[in-house]
Chain A
Amino acid sequence: MSRIRPIGSICAAGLALLSFTGLLPTASHAIEIEGLPAPAEPHRVVVATPADKTLPNGLRVIVLEREGEPLLSAELLVKAGVETDPPQLSGLTSFTASLLKRGTKTRNAPKIAEDIEALGAKVEEEATWDKTSLVLTTLSANAEPSLALLSELVREPAFAKEEIERARLETLDDLRLALEEPGQVAKLAVIRATLSADAHPPAGTLPSVSRITRKDIVAQHARLFRPERCILVLAGKITAAETFPLVEKLFGSWTAAAPDKTSPPKPAPEAKPRVVLIDMPNAGQAAVLLATPSITRQADDWFAGKVATAVIGGGYSSRLNQEIRVKRGLSYGASSMLSTRRANGIFLSSAQTKNESAVEVVKLMQTEFARLATEPVPLDYLTTRKSLLTGALARDLETNAHTVQRLGELALYDFPLDSLNHYFDDVDHVQPADLQTFAKAHLAIDTFTIVIAGQAKIVEKPLRAAFPKLEVIPLSKLDLDSPTLKAAGKK
């Protein structure tokens, strides 16, 4: 449908972060079906360990040589992201990153687009809570001109006034469009309400983006793009022997503009759980989101959290999808995700359903959160949900881009680069009791914030009956710059 869908994909699908393929050593989950042949002996996946070096200017460079097509993927990542947006300027990091391709000291925006695309290359920027990055994919044969361009984009952005205004108009239109989609609205709102000050919308809001000045952008660029704060990860049909000198040549002279005075942001106090209905009178479907604060990326129970999330809402046969879609036909899909960062984390479940079934979907989700704490997960089912995680890793390792992403994630959180080699074992070690412990500590129903974006005239009455403390916020009064979600007073 992409040809007739002018804007991005629907939120509920976007939330299904786990992708599922690959392989698991054993299939202990026996199914008895007449005529069905048994699986054969598995072929094991092998994860190579990349070469790793830090240049004198502090830039860490990670190179993985891979067989396959003559392609190369690279990610230049900054170990800081949206969390560094100053107060009143939500969206600044995203906005700054989006301007890197919009002009350097020697090339204007159309020339950059033309030069990248003529190389058969693609460069995309990304800003998440604690990471900002540029991701390059190109032909191996064009490694040098492509990486030279990447270096120029990061080191010599022009931030021309004209480009800033152009990007501002585009961003504001994007934000307006997002506010028409119940899935997007509910997701931004539930994250904001759950993590309080630590969760402004990554792309900002209409007022905050309107406030951003060139000075803010230049300062944010200087704060983020410093060699000692960056990691360059490369994978593809390249050799470490050729790539390290090439990177040294193109990035070795990079120095930071000014001394680094930024201190890591402090985590904000967690918000109180709430039940919020955002009234969208034209919503053709209601988006139902339940979220609770969760663990950090470095937490000891991270693998337990990932497996718990897979049991509740990972894949087609997760408990949520079974109950909501397969058994009851209430949604095209229900899923959950666990998003973990350096300083915080969030567990989130979502589904879109007709307005009439929104409350039923909330209750089905709550039932599954509670069940994980009270009942041990049957071993054979647990094995299948673990396979989702290991399978996703195995499939990611088929492509350069996903391999780079996996390695970059390890480097970002200071894990050893050979960690993927015991990923299978780490997942395998999680036991039913670990999931119960995790659920009791991190998935208690009374810690969840519930946000529904849909038609109040249908949803409000039954929702209030179930949750008397319900707050109803008309879409026109929604303020994502505030943890209260409500526009402050009248001005």
Chain B
Amino acid sequence: MRSSRLASAVLTLSISLSLCCRPAFAAADESIPPLKFEQRTLPNGLQFIWLEDHTTPTAAIQIWYHVGSKDDPQGRSGFAHLFEHIMFKSTKRMPAETLDRLTEDVGGENNAYTADDVTVFHETVPSNHLERLLWAEAERLSALTVDDANFHTERDVVKEEYRQRVLADPYGEFGEFVQKKSFTTHPYHRPTIGNIAELDASTIGDVRAFHTTFYRPDNAVLVVAGDFEPAKLQKWVDDYFGVIPKPEAPIPRVTTKEPDRIAPQTIVEYDPKPPLPAVAVTYLGPAARSEEGPVWEIIQRLMGGGESSRLYRELVYKLQLAQSVEFTSDLREDLGLITVTMVLASGVPVEKAKAALIAEIDKLATQPITDKELSIARNQLLAADLLNRETDEGKASALGEAATVYGDPNHVNTELPAILAVTPEQVQASAKKWLTEQNRLVIEYLPESMKAKGKGKK
């Protein structure tokens, strides 16, 4: 649904190159040309990346702001995401929702999302409308104005979004709970959507302060991919973005360090909504820019991607203990979180499923993965990457993420050799390093009806 999807994971699932190494298949690594982007930094600090492609008469525009829910002000959990919604309201020259006039009204689209570390605004339009979107993005970066009525209505929308995502979904609160409990100190423990009380506490003054603090050219990456004339594009960017001043104040950054986990922990929580018990196992992990990044791409895929993955094959298919299993290597800017979640199959004892899940995770450290598994992971990551490149939007997203999250747009082209070089030994070493008992948090999330029963037994 439009305006303001919320993504806590930083899109890591889709961005990866690989090759296929089985002789029967194409030598796919050599057939993927690099993305031929160019880049420069404006005097005001705005990083600008562009990629010319005339395949379809469309253009994708994205701005990645280096601010996310970890930067929510004190007592204002959910504010970065609420602010993202407010960015669709009025500016000095644009009435509220002008972005929709400029996109969906002419056959384009727009949306935005907030993650822990970044907030991303993106549009795809018929290419003859590109200049207007650059004007509008510069306008809302430099001249956002908000009135009380718009602010309060949009805050109500976000509260409905909270109800839809968290309250109406039987496992919505489970997801929030896992996030809250997985970090003790770092603001990553605050769910991106926040909560009703802290949303209600936010004011229009908070909006102005947040805009001034974080929405500035030297805290943004602009990406344009698609059908344009490069010379015109340069002029438009200079004309509309170049005039925005660079503020003198430094950009505040989160410096809180999450302490290492020192002992295994298990938390049991009850909720009336879930029909089946769920279990989450989390481990603190490496940061996004760690050299281990490519290794965790492989691990995520071979543990949780598709029906040949280990967790599906063992827990869902073979042992029939789980209804669904997910494995996420969410390597965030400051530190990563490895999350494994499982919804149990009907009638399965929690202890049994939990033990099998942990045994499967532990295996990664004790035994090397097979060549076949490695090959499947590579081919699947390769195909996912090619699929992303079918659209201007996919290419722009890859470049924006590379520049913002990995600090180098050329990461879109260097990740391939990095993933190619991943060996079974590296997988085992990373597993040994992070997937330890000491670093493990287990959450049992049980239907309320199990409460009395559980107590009785113990």
Interface contact B57-A44, CB-CB below 8 Å: yes
Interface contact B164-A3, CB-CB below 8 Å: no
Interface contact A172-B326, CB-CB below 8 Å: no
Taken together as a complex, chains A and B put the C-alpha atoms of A420 and B331 apart, in Å, by 43
Interface contact B24-A6, CB-CB below 8 Å: no
Contact pick for A12, options B164, B179, B345, CB 8 Å: B164
- Chain A residues 305-319 with CB under 8 Å of chain B are 315-317
Taken together as a complex, chains A and B put the C-alpha atoms of A27 and B108 apart, in Å, by 11
Mark B137-158 against chain A: 1 for CB-CB distance below 8 A, else 0: 0010000000000001111110
With contacts A36-B132, A139-B26, A141-B28 known, is A329 near B160, CB below 8 A? Answer: yes
Residue of A nearest to B167 (CB): A284
Residues of chain B within 8 A (CB-CB) of A327 are: 153
Interface contact A285-B379, CB-CB below 8 Å: no
Contact pick for B55, options A68, A109, A142, CB 8 Å: A68
Contact pick for A352, options B56, B164, B170, B178, CB 8 Å: B164
Taken together as a complex, chains A and B put the C-alpha atoms of A169 and B157 apart, in Å, by 38
Residues of chain B within 8 A (CB-CB) of A31 are: 98, 101-102
Interface contact A352-B25, CB-CB below 8 Å: no
- Chain A residues 441-455 with CB under 8 Å of chain B are none
Kindly state whether residue A1 has any CB partner on chain B within 8 Å.
Answer: yes
Contact pick for B106, options A137, A141, A387, CB 8 Å: A387
Shortest CB–CB separation between residue B58 and chain A, in angstroms?
A: 6
Mark A35-77 against chain B: 1 for CB-CB distance below 8 A, else 0: 1111111111100000000000000000000011111000000
Interface centre among A1, A12, A383 (most CB of B within 10 A): A1
Taken together as a complex, chains A and B put the C-alpha atoms of A113 and B280 apart, in Å, by 25
Residue of B nearest to A3 (CB): B328
Interface contact A27-B171, CB-CB below 8 Å: no
Interface contact A113-B104, CB-CB below 8 Å: no
Taken together as a complex, chains A and B put the C-alpha atoms of A29 and B101 apart, in Å, by 9
Kindly state whether residue A282 has any CB partner on chain B within 8 Å.
Answer: yes
Interface contact A68-B390, CB-CB below 8 Å: yes
Number of B interface residues, CB 8 Å? 107
Residues of chain A within 8 A (CB-CB) of B41 are: none
Interface contact A316-B57, CB-CB below 8 Å: no
Contact pick for A117, options B136, B324, B376, CB 8 Å: B376
Residue of A nearest to B130 (CB): A40
Interface contact B324-A7, CB-CB below 8 Å: yes
Residue of B nearest to A327 (CB): B153
Contact pick for B28, options A10, A117, A120, A177, CB 8 Å: A120
- Chain B residues 444-458 with CB under 8 Å of chain A are none
Shortest CB–CB separation between residue B191 and chain A, in angstroms?
A: 9
Interface contact A400-B390, CB-CB below 8 Å: yes
Interface contact B57-A120, CB-CB below 8 Å: no
Interface contact B326-A3, CB-CB below 8 Å: yes
Mark A366-407 against chain B: 1 for CB-CB distance below 8 A, else 0: 000000000000000001100110111011011110000000
Shortest CB–CB separation between residue B5 and chain A, in angstroms?
A: 9
Contact pick for B105, options A5, A387, A400, CB 8 Å: A387
Interface centre among B160, B328, B391 (most CB of A within 10 A): B160
With contacts A35-B135, A42-B128, A117-B306 known, is A29 near B25, CB below 8 A? Answer: no
Taken together as a complex, chains A and B put the C-alpha atoms of A138 and B20 apart, in Å, by 13
Residues of chain B within 8 A (CB-CB) of A33 are: 93-95, 98
Kindly state whether residue A147 has any CB partner on chain B within 8 Å.
Answer: no
Interface contact A120-B174, CB-CB below 8 Å: no
Contact pick for B390, options A20, A71, A109, A182, CB 8 Å: A71
Interface contact A4-B58, CB-CB below 8 Å: no
Kindly state whether residue A118 has any CB partner on chain B within 8 Å.
Answer: yes
Residues of chain B within 8 A (CB-CB) of A331 are: 157, 160, 164
Kindly state whether residue B380 has any CB partner on chain A within 8 Å.
Answer: yes
Kindly state whether residue A353 has any CB partner on chain B within 8 Å.
Answer: yes
Taken together as a complex, chains A and B put the C-alpha atoms of A345 and B115 apart, in Å, by 39
Interface centre among B169, B339, B342, B387 (most CB of A within 10 A): B169
Interface centre among A7, A120, A326, A353 (most CB of B within 10 A): A120
Interface centre among B13, B176, B383 (most CB of A within 10 A): B383
Number of A-B contacts (CB under 8 A): 333
Interface centre among A16, A31, A39 (most CB of B within 10 A): A39
Interface contact B1-A13, CB-CB below 8 Å: yes
Taken together as a complex, chains A and B put the C-alpha atoms of A328 and B175 apart, in Å, by 28
Shortest CB–CB separation between residue A18 and chain B, in angstroms?
A: 10
Kindly state whether residue B273 has any CB partner on chain A within 8 Å.
Answer: yes
Kindly state whether residue B272 has any CB partner on chain A within 8 Å.
Answer: yes
Interface contact B273-A282, CB-CB below 8 Å: yes
Interface contact B104-A315, CB-CB below 8 Å: yes
Mark A175-198 against chain B: 1 for CB-CB distance below 8 A, else 0: 011011111000000000000000
Mark A78-114 against chain B: 1 for CB-CB distance below 8 A, else 0: 0000000000000000000000010000000110011
Interface contact A166-B306, CB-CB below 8 Å: no
Interface contact A166-B320, CB-CB below 8 Å: yes
Residues of chain B within 8 A (CB-CB) of A20 are: 104, 107-109
Contact pick for A71, options B176, B272, B324, B386, CB 8 Å: B386
Interface contact A121-B109, CB-CB below 8 Å: no
Taken together as a complex, chains A and B put the C-alpha atoms of A433 and B189 apart, in Å, by 55
Residues of chain A within 8 A (CB-CB) of B28 are: 70, 120, 139, 141
Mark A428-466 against chain B: 1 for CB-CB distance below 8 A, else 0: 000000000000000000000000000000000000000
Contact pick for A110, options B100, B104, B313, CB 8 Å: B313
Residue of A nearest to B328 (CB): A3
Interface contact B31-A118, CB-CB below 8 Å: no
Interface contact B391-A118, CB-CB below 8 Å: no
Shortest CB–CB separation between residue B383 and chain A, in angstroms?
A: 4
Residues of chain B within 8 A (CB-CB) of A329 are: 152-157, 159-160
With contacts A285-B163, A325-B157 known, is A23 near B126, CB below 8 A? Answer: yes
Residues of chain B within 8 A (CB-CB) of A139 are: 20, 25-26, 28, 379, 382-383, 386
Kindly state whether residue A332 has any CB partner on chain B within 8 Å.
Answer: yes
Kindly state whether residue A229 has any CB partner on chain B within 8 Å.
Answer: no
With contacts A120-B20, A169-B345, A330-B160 known, is A3 near B56, CB below 8 A? Answer: no
Interface contact B382-A352, CB-CB below 8 Å: no
Shortest CB–CB separation between residue B122 and chain A, in angstroms?
A: 11
Shortest CB–CB separation between residue A242 and chain B, in angstroms?
A: 15
Shortest CB–CB separation between residue B332 and chain A, in angstroms?
A: 12
With contacts A27-B129, A183-B168, A398-B58 known, is A71 near B383, CB below 8 A? Answer: yes
Kindly state whether residue A34 has any CB partner on chain B within 8 Å.
Answer: yes
Interface contact B372-A118, CB-CB below 8 Å: yes
Residue of B nearest to A390 (CB): B107
With contacts A16-B1, A37-B131, A119-B25 known, is A24 near B274, CB below 8 A? Answer: no
Taken together as a complex, chains A and B put the C-alpha atoms of A398 and B166 apart, in Å, by 34
Residues of chain B within 8 A (CB-CB) of A384 are: 101, 104-106
Kindly state whether residue A426 has any CB partner on chain B within 8 Å.
Answer: no
Interface contact A284-B317, CB-CB below 8 Å: no
Shortest CB–CB separation between residue B396 and chain A, in angstroms?
A: 13
Kindly state whether residue A21 has any CB partner on chain B within 8 Å.
Answer: yes
Interface contact B390-A40, CB-CB below 8 Å: no
With contacts A3-B339, A6-B171, A40-B131 known, is A119 near B56, CB below 8 A? Answer: no
Residues of chain B within 8 A (CB-CB) of A45 are: 56-57
In addition to A3-B339, A395-B109, 19 A-B residue pairs with Cβ atoms within 8 Å of each other are A1-B165, A27-B105, A33-B98, A35-B93, A36-B135, A39-B132, A40-B128, A40-B129, A70-B26, A70-B386, A120-B20, A140-B26, A284-B167, A321-B2, A332-B157, A352-B164, A391-B108, A392-B107, A397-B56
A–B pairs, 20, beta carbons within 8 Å:
A3-B9, A6-B323, A19-B109, A22-B107, A23-B58, A23-B128, A31-B102, A40-B131, A113-B313, A118-B376, A120-B28, A139-B25, A169-B345, A176-B276, A284-B167, A329-B153, A332-B161, A354-B159, A387-B105, A394-B58
